[in-house]
Copies of this chain bind each other. A is one copy, B any other.
Amino acid sequence: MVQTKKLKLFNDPIYGFIGTPNELIFRLIGHPYFQRLRRISQMGMSYLVYPGAHHTRFHHALGSMHLMTKAIQVLRLKDIEISEEEEKGLLGAILLHDIGHGPFSHALEGFIIDGVGHETLSLEYMKALNEEFDSALDLAIEIFNGKYPKPFLNQLVSSQLDMDRLDYLKRDSFYTGVTEGNINSERLISMLNVVDGNLVVEEKGIYAIEKFLMARRFMYWQVYLHKTSLVAEQLLIRIMQRAKELMPNQSILGEDSTLYRFLFEEKEVGVNRDRLSQFALLDDIDILAAIKKWRFHEDFVLSKMCQMLLDRNLLTIKLKKSPVQPEKVEAKLNSTSGQFGISKQEASYFVFTGEISNNTYNQQEQEINILKKNGKVVHLLKESDALGTDFISRKVTKYYLCYPK
């Protein structure tokens, strides 16, 4: 009749309920580093296109952990040995895999701490938490950084079929309402197996994998790289750049703000424990609050970009299959310079080009391997009718041009 903490349940519109499988997980979820993920949106600026897309890294981390419990269950039923300790490690690693994300996730990645990506930061946070939790995360860290001797454990956390992707595709599809991205995570998991220490997919799962890769491709082009999100994220980045540019001359944020220190003070090199705990104070709110303040800044370029973002009165964006001709950009720069009464250098905040690219299946990454009924293991691309052509692994690039309406 004891009601243990194990049973602490989170409501999830996708999986129904998400439990907390052990005491360590329960305590990690309660830690301020993890609670902060409640204030970091999963999909950056996508809510400007898909008004339901306000879900957070917090929810995604719980969801990935939930799928991991399913994967462990399936593999054990297939007589793959996963010890209690390894289970704890897997759950810890997947729960914390994104804990290093900063404000607006990918949009500002590498900008707030120069050139340091979220994976590096996740690892650093795990190490810091490991000290706090008396080395309870030793195995989680080994699994996360791929040093543990059973490679499939790492592959469950980070590979082309990891629990991360299986959750985020499903979750992003759910909250955007883009049902085309709705993958059947449970079926995919039920087809996992392990051969020679590596994760494989049973042969009958080929169609499900193809479907999964196509759903992923769909989500990339229709959602993640949607041109309106793209232009919004470009504005977000350019707002930060303009603020930095203006900084030598004028104070534009309270000097006691954490964001101020990251953006404008002398940079330290690398990541130390102190910078980690500072970084953990940042989230979407700091960025949005700065943008709301700068909306009234005296610099036209800065305030105009902020207003555009806040009122969703964005730049025009055109997507092309080939790079934009320089004379076209030049013409737009000139007209914008005239329209707004600003220099051409300033106009380049509003007129710019860029490219986006995606390949559905990355052969450079860990391959997806198929376990055939006769016991042989082959590469996915060899087995699949649909994928055995180059399109799925071909990188597709598109080019864009942005300018004011």
Q: Contact between A59 and B52 (Cβ–Cβ < 8 Å)? A: yes
Q: A322 near B: Cβ within 8 Å?
A: no
Q: A300 near B: Cβ within 8 Å?
A: no
CB distance from A191 to the nearest CB of B (A): 10
Residue of B nearest to A394 (CB): B385
Q: A115 near B: Cβ within 8 Å?
A: no
CB distance from A330 to the nearest CB of B (A): 23
Please judge, given known A-B contacts A52-B59, A391-B389, whether A11 and B211 are in contact too, CB under 8 Å: no
CB distance from A72 to the nearest CB of B (A): 14
Interface residues of A in 379-395 (CB under 8 A from B): 385-386, 388-392, 394
Q: A316 near B: Cβ within 8 Å?
A: no
Interface residues of A in 119-153 (CB under 8 A from B): none
Copies in the complex: 4
Which of B51, B58, B184 contacts A58 (CB under 8 A)? Answer: B51
Q: A1 near B: Cβ within 8 Å?
A: yes
Please judge, given known A-B contacts A2-B79, A285-B292, A390-B389, whether A207 and B218 are in contact too, CB under 8 Å: yes
Q: List 11 A-B contacts (CB under 8 A).
A: A2-B78, A3-B202, A11-B178, A12-B51, A17-B187, A35-B311, A36-B310, A51-B58, A182-B182, A214-B386, A385-B391
Q: Return the 6 tightest CB-CB contacts between A and B, nearest first.
A: A289-B289, A13-B177, A54-B54, A11-B177, A389-B389, A32-B311
Q: A86 near B: Cβ within 8 Å?
A: no
CB distance from A216 to the nearest CB of B (A): 11
Q: A195 near B: Cβ within 8 Å?
A: yes
CB distance from A328 to the nearest CB of B (A): 16
Chain B residues near A386 (CB, 8 Å)? 214, 217, 391-392
Residues of A that sit less than 8 Å from B by CB:
1-4, 6-7, 9-14, 16-17, 30, 32, 35-36, 38-39, 47-52, 54-56, 58-59, 62, 74, 77-80, 174-180, 182-184, 186-187, 190, 193-195, 202, 207-208, 210-211, 214-215, 217-218, 221-222, 254, 256-257, 281, 285-286, 288-289, 292-293, 296, 310-313, 371, 385-386, 388-392, 394, 396
Please judge, given known A-B contacts A211-B214, A292-B286, whether A7 and B38 are in contact too, CB under 8 Å: no
Given contacts A10-B51, A11-B177, A214-B214, 10 further A-B contacts (CB under 8 A): A11-B51, A12-B52, A16-B184, A38-B47, A38-B312, A210-B218, A211-B214, A254-B293, A285-B289, A385-B394
- Interface SS of A by simple majority: mixed
CB distance from A214 to the nearest CB of B (A): 4
Residue of B nearest to A61 (CB): B51
